[in-house]
Amino acid sequence: MGKFEPPFSFTGTVSNISVYKVRGSDKPVVRMKGGPTKRQIETRASFATTRKNNKEFGGRARIAGQVLEALRPLKYLGDFNLAGPLNSLFIPIQALDTEHPHGERNVELSKAPGLLQGFNLNRRTPFETIVANQLDYTLSKETVKASITFPALMPGINFFPPGKYSWYRFIAVLATVEDMFYSNGEYQPEHGANREMNMYTIEETDWMAVTPRSEPFTMELNKLGTYYERAADRKQFNRHSLLLAAGIAFGNMPKGQIQMVKYVGGAKILAMA
């Protein structure tokens, strides 16, 4: 892989070379076409390890997809593609399965949920570079509830907006992430697909003025507890992890109504349980 340096800005295909751009990079990415065919990978003995790696990648992709779904309310605050880095975070989690052979190892986030804690959706402006104070929070897997306490914010002291924006708001997400198990040639939840157990709830503040300062407040995320109390099989919830994420968005008022500025702000996975 290579990247063109300015002043070149070409993207497209020339012969067996593809040039394209990705979010989070200001330089085009260059890739060569070619490589083994799909049939060769599926049938040749020399690709046996590749097939095992591909199957396990699929398991990580399924559970990473749940995390991406949970983080969707914060998607437009991020400044790079999250799928690849998230999938990589599940490699050491998958390696915790020492009972099954390579190619069939389970992805049990519930055994080590803390490995995702602190994951930032931003490279240019991580959440902690905007809000300098650490956020106080509670997170309970027993009640499936959480709270986040946001500090008083004072621009230039503990609050550093990444640009000249007049408005900001906080967004919080509480979600469940279900472990993935290898069975019958594919990865799936332990008890099969049960969408009722894959849940998330979102809370967000009203738009607030950046200046002069804000008062501290606490945001409660309690709705998942109600869903959990209605669940038919509570033991199944042991195969889930709880994800608590927080983000800060910024807005302008060009036509009398505040509009969020995409890809500006910061967000992170605050806690896991």
DSSP result, 210-268? SSS----EEEEE-HHHHHHHH-S-GGGGGGEEEEEEEEEEEEE-TTSS-EEEEEEEEEE
Q: Does residue 133 sit within a domain? A: yes
pLDDT of residue 196: 44
pLDDT of 35 higher than 80 = no
Q: Does residue 16 sit within a domain? A: no
pLDDT of residue 171: 98
Q: Say what percent of the chain tops pLDDT 90.
A: 63
- Output the CA torsion 267→87→200→75 (10° steps): 40
pLDDT of 262 higher than 90 = yes
Q: Does residue 248 sit within a domain? A: yes
189 touches 239 (CB < 8 A): yes
- pTM for this prediction: 0.81
Least confident of 32-46, 95-109, 142-156: 32-46
Least confident of 7-16, 46-55, 250-259: 7-16
Least confident of 41-45, 189-193, 241-245: 41-45
For residue range 44-93, list pLDDT tens digits in order: 666 567 788 789 999 999 999 999 999 999 999 999 999 999 999 999 99
In angstroms, rounded to a whole number, what is the distance separating the alpha carbons of residues 120 and 140? 22
* 187 bridge partner residues: 182
pLDDT of residue 14: 61
For residue range 177-234, list pLDDT tens digits in order: 999 999 888 999 887 655 445 688 999 999 999 988 899 999 999 887 666 665 545 5
Host domain of residue 85: 43-272
Structure tokens at 118: 């602190």
Q: Does residue 5 sit within a domain? A: no
Round the average pLDDT of the chain to a whole number and report it.
Answer: 85
Q: Does residue 8 sit within a domain? A: no
Residue 92 in 3-state DSSP?
Answer: helix
Q: Which residue has the tokens 């949920």?
A: 113
pLDDT of residue 238: 74
pLDDT of residue 143: 86
Mean pLDDT across the stretch 149-172?
96
pLDDT of residue 261: 94
Q: Does residue 83 sit within a domain? A: yes
pLDDT of residue 236: 60
Please state the domain count of the chain. 1
Which helix (DSSP H) or strand (DSSP E) does residue 120 occupy? Answer: none
Split at pLDDT 50, 70, 90, the class of 151 is very high
Q: Does residue 75 sit within a domain? A: yes
Q: Does residue 205 sit within a domain? A: yes
Q: Say what percent of the chain tops pLDDT 70.
A: 75
In angstroms, rounded to a whole number, what is the distance separating the alpha carbons of residues 2 and 74? 30
State the DSSP string of 171-197: EEEEEEEE-BEEETTEEE-TTS--GGG
pLDDT of residue 90: 96
